[in-house]
Structure 1
């Protein structure tokens, strides 16, 4: 897949409320940038339009607010990730069960990994 150098700017203009500064999107932690990059890649692949993404993200944020999220900005990329997972499942790329299985495996792998070391998935992480 060829990278679009304007993809981040396109996403920022299509998705209101994205944390950014003059240089582009702003991330608090590396996983936020990775979730952002996954969404850019899946959009470029044609899995969803930015309008579809923005509507799904807005629904996710509304759902979280209804459940008590104060919407202070700290949870924005948690909503982004939940939206990504929901769309991946809805589009049939991976089932919700598969997503949960991998999330749990990553959690197990992270728990056994010393701080500062790369996290590596092993077959036993999926048990």
Structure 2
């Protein structure tokens, strides 16, 4: 085994599989730190989402885990009135459309007029 191979083996695995996993996590932490909701309340709601989906508690942070995380955040923000439920669904569809139209390996971007309101 080369020195490079040894160094690569020592590197920790990335904490997030996809950029959007990190983004939705960071957004949730930011909202908590700015008093939009308490962390205890977030954990309770996220746990309920996981139970509702029948997901195991030993998830490794994959796609199903972060899909549940995003669903919880969308529902929570709609419930506390931070975001209208229709707006959250609309934005999710716009992101999905942009994602599907983006060539592999390129960053996904919303059109300027789509990203801003009014």
Pairwise TM-score range, normalised by the shorter structure: 0.7 to 0.9
Quote the RMSD (CA, aligned, Å). 2.3
| Distance verdict in 2 for CA 1:87–1:121, change over 3 Å | same
Q: Residues of 2 paired with 1:110 and 1:46: CA distance? A: 31
Q: What is the TM-score with the length of structure 1 in the denominator?
A: 0.68
Task: Say how many residue pairs are matched.
Answer: 99
Q: Residues of 2 paired with 1:28 and 1:108: CA distance? A: 21
Q: What is the TM-score with the length of structure 2 in the denominator?
A: 0.72
**Stretch moving more, 40-49 or 103-112:** 103-112
Q: Residues of 1 paired with 2:33 and 2:99: CA distance? A: 30
Q: Which has the larger radius of gyration?
A: 2
Q: Give the Å deviation of 1:104.
A: 0.6
Which of 70, 93, 103 pairs up with 1:114?
Answer: 103
Residue 37 (str. 1) matches residue 26 (str. 2): yes
Residue correspondence of structure 1 range 1-127 to structure 2 within 5 A: 26-65=15-54, 69=55, 73=59, 74=62, 75-122=64-111, 123=113
Q: Residues of 1 paired with 2:34 and 2:114: CA distance? A: 32
